[in-house]
Amino acid sequence: MIDFKGHRIEKAIILTCVRWYLAYPLSYRNLKEMMRERGIEVDHSNIYRWVRKFTPKLEAVFRKGNKRPVGKSWRADETYIKIKGQWRYLYRAVDRDGQTIDFLLTAHRDKQAALDALQEETGHAFEIRQSKYLNNLVEQDHRAIKRIIRPMLGFKTFNSAYCTLCGIELMHMIKKRQMTSTEGHILSVAKQFYSLAA
């Protein structure tokens, strides 16, 4: 259970702000305006702090037993994220059905570290085949992540980028129905997200 004690804003509003920021192409200032239109005064710096504080906790709950298993054929590729004006490497892997396996953000190009992370996440040894056509799936999947990141206008710190990317990847996996459900019926994407903080 994630602890929300000590916050003057109620849990539901905090989670809504965090979810909207991670799920849609919005800036912190956009969210501040959206909350004001709903009669809630929230500073954009508070939303920033909530994303930094709660995203890693929500992602950890998801990975602890809520993530569905993925297939045995994977596609991995790198893309670039700007952090403090410098391009950094984001390695992402999906299976043949487009389900997200994992991601790795590094300051320097490090293919071996990405492969090690993949092996640790899946628990399987694997063989590498290079084919530009096989990577079309993961390259298309990068677009969903880049679409959310674009209005953020770059990250100021590596840690902030990592926390935010954890959340964006989490929302992307939930949207792709990668979260297991303990209920007999399928919950909406929003309810699945909120259930992680229950």
- Consecutive H or E run containing 103: strand 100-106
DSSP sequence for 19-83: HHHHHSS--HHHHHHHHHHTT----HHHHHHHHHHHHHHHHHHIIIIIBPP--S-EEEEEEEEEE
Mapped onto helix, strand or coil, the DSSP state of residue 179 is: strand
Half-sphere exposure of 144 (CA within 13 A, CB side): 20
Choose among 73, 122, 78, 120: nearest CA to 98: 73
Report d(CA 57, CA 53) in Å as an integer.
Answer: 7
The pLDDT assigned to 125 comes to 67
Report d(CA 34, CA 53) in Å as an integer.
Answer: 21
The structural domains of the chain, with segments of one domain joined by +, span 74-158
Contact 146, 165 (CB under 8 A): no
Predicted TM-score of the model (pTM): 0.86
Choose among 99, 112, 196, 109: nearest CA to 144: 99
Distance set, CA 131 to CA 40, 75, 134, 169, 191 (Å)? 51, 10, 5, 25, 38
Task: Tell me the pLDDT tens digit for each residue of 132-171.
Answer: 666 677 888 888 999 999 888 779 999 999 999 999 999 9
Positive or negative torsion for Cα 142, 34, 162, 160: positive
The pLDDT assigned to 59 comes to 94
Mapped onto helix, strand or coil, the DSSP state of residue 169 is: helix
The 8-class DSSP code of residue 184 comes to S
Contact 118, 101 (CB under 8 A): yes
Which residues, given as ranges, of the chain have pLDDT below 70? Answer: 118, 121-122, 124-135, 182-185
